[in-house]
Structures are given as C-alpha cells and as structure tokens.
Amino acid sequence: MPTARTSALLVLGIFAIVVSTALADDCHSLTSLTRPDLTITLAESVPAGAFKPPASGMPGPPLDFSNLPAFCRVAATAKPTSDSEIKFEVWMPASNWNGKFEGTGNGAWLGAIVYFALADGLRRGYAVANTDTGHVSGGMDASWALGHPEKVVDFGYRAVHLMTVEGKAIVNAFYKKNPTFSYWNGCSSGGKQGLKEAQQFPEDYNGIVAGAPANYWTHLLAATVWVGLQALKDPASAIPREKFALIHKAAIEACDSIDGVKDGLIDDPRKCHFDPQVLQCKGADAPDCLTAAQVETARKAYGPSTTPHGMKIFPGLEPGSELGWGFMMGGPEPARIGSDYYTYILHKDPHWNPRTMDFDKDVPEADALDHGTINAIDPDLRKFKAHGGKLIMYHGWADSLIMPENSVSYYESVLKTIGGPAQTEDFFRLFMAPGMGHCFGGEGPSGFDALQSLERWVEDGKAPDSIVASHMAGPGKVDRTRPLCVYPRVAKYKGEGSIDQAENFSCSMPN
C-alpha cells in the first residue's frame, strides 16, 4: 500500500505532467494568434536543456544553453510597412514564471537575435524578448540601410517598440494574464534603445537599465571616424598596437593615487591630466617610447573630437582606456561602424571614402537627417517619470568604444530639464564604474546586477544608493569588490581594512 507521502508525491507528479502538457499545447496553439501586421512563424515547446541556437554569424565562442529550463519559444515577424521585416523571439518559462516581461537589447548595427540575452532572462524566470531590429547584418555593417529608409526607422525605434507591445500580447495569450512588471535591459546600442523607449514610449516599461548608451548616434559615429583619421592620416601618426599598453601603464602611474588609494584604477579620469609627452623618445623610435607624431595622436585621442571650425562633436577617450584603443585607431581605415552611417545613410554612396569626410558639413546634415530616428538625446523624461518609471544608467570610465563623458552629459541634460538632483534621482540614477571597459570587463570591478537593483526600486521602492561590483581573477574567483555610487558620488576608502572589499568604502561627494 502506498504511504500518504508517496500518494501526495504521485498526485503532484501527475499534476505537473498535466500542467506541462497543457502549457505545451498552449505554446503550439500560439501559431494561430492573430495580430495586425504580425505573423507567428514558430511556436514550439522546448524541453529543458534542449535548445540549439541557429547559426547567427555572431563572433565569439559557442555558448552553452544546456542549463536552460523548459520554455515556450515563439518567433514572429512584424511588417508595419511594405519595406519592414522585423523579426523577434519571445521565450516564456514552462514553469516558475516570475510574472514579469523583459525586453533585451542589441549591439552596434547588429541585425540578429541575441540568444544569450534571451537565455539570461529565461534563467531568471522572465518572459523575455529580443529583436533583430528589422534587418540582417553583423554589428559593423550598415550597408542594409542603403535605399531602405523604413528599415532605418525600424532600427532606430520601431522594432523595439513593436517587439515590446507584441511580445506582451504573446505573453498574455500564453499565460492568460499580462505581466505584472516590464523591464528593459541593454547596453551599448541596447542602452540607446532603452533611452529611446523612455523618451518616446514612456509606458512600455516600468524600469529600464541602460548601460553605456550609444544614444548620440550621429556624433558618436562621427567621432569614431575622427579618432581613426587622427591616427591614420599618415604612417607617422599611427600608434602601433603594442604601444597601447605602454601608454596605459604610464597613465595609471600618473593618476592612480589622485583618489588617495593606489589600486591600479583611475577613479575619475577627468581629474587626470596625464600628458603622453612623458613617453616621447629621446632619440629614434623604439618599443618603449612614442615618437613626436605618436604623442600628438595620443593627445588628440584624449581630447574631444572637433570640426575644423571648432564645433565639438563628442568627448574624448579617457586616461585608463588605452588597452582598447585598437578598435578606433588600429587601422588600416577608420572603424567601419562609424563610417557606414555616413556612407550608406547620409551620402547614400557605397563608394564614398571616409577619409574625405567634411565634419563641419556632414555632422550637422546627419543630425538634421536623423531628426531623432536613431539619436536618443531628448532630456525630457517627465512622461516616463509620471508613469512611475525608473531608470538606471551605467558606464565604465575605461570604455574605449563609447566615451563615458557622453553618459554624464546626457544625465546632466536631464537634471537641467527635470529640475535638479532631488527631482531626478527619485527616478533616474547614473553609476560610473572606474576601470570598467565597454559594458563589462576591464581592470576595475565590472560584474554587477543592475536589473536586480532596478527590480527592488520599482517593486519595493528601495532606490539604489550603491551597487556592489566585483572583479574576477578567473572563473569563479572574485579578487575585488567595490561599490558603484550614484553620480556624482564616488567610492571613498574609509581608511581601514582591505581596499579589495566593498564594505571598506562609502559613497560620498567628491572633494
């Protein structure tokens, strides 16, 4: 005779099978979901650990999806215009759904589903969505935009908004209820997408994480070309890649101790007045020094990009970012991610040569042409605030792809529009990370959970005064933690204990 406990477990097991079968049936039935200008192309129940991503052409090592829970995978295509083909996917947990929706972002010009972003959200219990932004391409390539202005609009904002609206409708059709909360989580282009949502569609999300946002798109890409041209205008100006570490070491040695703690990091590079001339060769060029022309290139990289007539385009690279300078200055031509905007969208000429760029003329024309399609620089977030939205923005001070002062500038523009720190910090907080590279990595602590902090803020009203970040010395080995503070506050050492432990620091206003 079975015991009462055995019988109860048997009943629970049968119930789980029935629920699982019902959800699988509900998942497949989504193929018949009817929405305007939307076609469900796939609705399948994926067993735990069984997902195999299609070849996407994205760089990097193969990703492990073997630890994913069972989920309902829905792929859809939206065609809001005759020249639109916006693909997106929604993944929904077969069990233990947290009741929430998460929209996730892309990088650069990428036209592909980002499966690792979907996987991360799914593991956290979210119904999660991602879009190819309406085109097919690698991250550096904007040739798809030539002759397709509607696809540019899709990339700029329409794809993410439609993914969000239609994604929530799919979630409702599957679970028979709407998400209780909706969050955006993205970095780089994904950070720009998050800011665009807050500015243009303030009711789409309850909370937004916008990391290292590429929000001043036309100017960022012009600056990418500008920096490249300074380094590549002639062979003498080029800094060999192996010398970037030399410059980095000298910058750290010059500015590490400004904050009172010698920890291999520059706390606020704006206080660092490092002049690469200290590395100038006394004689002939050598591996351990810079030529006069190379010194001048480094000086220009640290300074803002400007037009010949003195108009500032974008902030400069910061001291501490040198290990990543190869992206913009590695040659043999300016980075394509920047020049492709001016080639295919502004000039509409695949044969246009970025070395002929007229910054005084091309940058204002790009601004006028874009007119807020891709740029996400509107500081008026009052509707997002009124909706109850919360926004966390973060940026690494050692970012060598998107200059970090851009985020400071945007935040300060919001301060002026909203009415000062008190009115702004109750819904928007910026966190700057010393030594952190683009979105993650670098010599400083860069591992942190901004989404968890955002959830507590939105759902429990606990605004984050700091976020603890960690640095990894290897897989699973944390060798330093440090609080990231609400800008303009910085982490100050208390004077006792290890400088590698976050509890020995407090967030205070800078001196």
Known catalytic residues are 188, 399, 438
Q: Which two tokens stand for residue 242?
A: 């192996």
Do residues 244 and 323 touch, judged by C-beta distance below 8 A? yes
List, as one string, the DSSP characters of 70-138.
Answer: PEEEEEEEE-SSTT--EEEEEEEESS---SEEEEE---TT-BS--HHHHHHHHHTT-EEEEE-TTS-B-
168: phi then psi, degrees, rounded to nearest 5 = -65, -35
One-character DSSP codes across 275-328: -GGGGB-SSS--TTSB-HHHHHHHHHHHSPEE-TT--EEEPPPPTT-GGGTHHH
Q: What is the 3-state secondary structure (H, E, C) of 226-290?
A: HHHHHHHCCHHHCCCHHHHHHHHHHHHHHHHHHHCCCCCCCCCHHHCCCCHHHHECCCCCCCCCE
Judge whether 194 and 407 are in contact, CB under 8 Å.
no
Short-list 80, 121, 134, 147, CA closest to 348: 147
Q: Are strands 312-314 and 305-306 parallel, antiparallel or unpaired?
A: antiparallel
Indicate the angle between helix axes 217-232 and 292-302, nearest 10 degrees. 170
Q: Is the distance from CB of 177 to CB of 102 less than 8 angstroms?
A: no
Token digits for 396? 């690494």
CA distance 484 to 429: 11
Cis peptide before 53 (omega within 30 of 0): no
Distance CA 224, CA 234 (A): 17
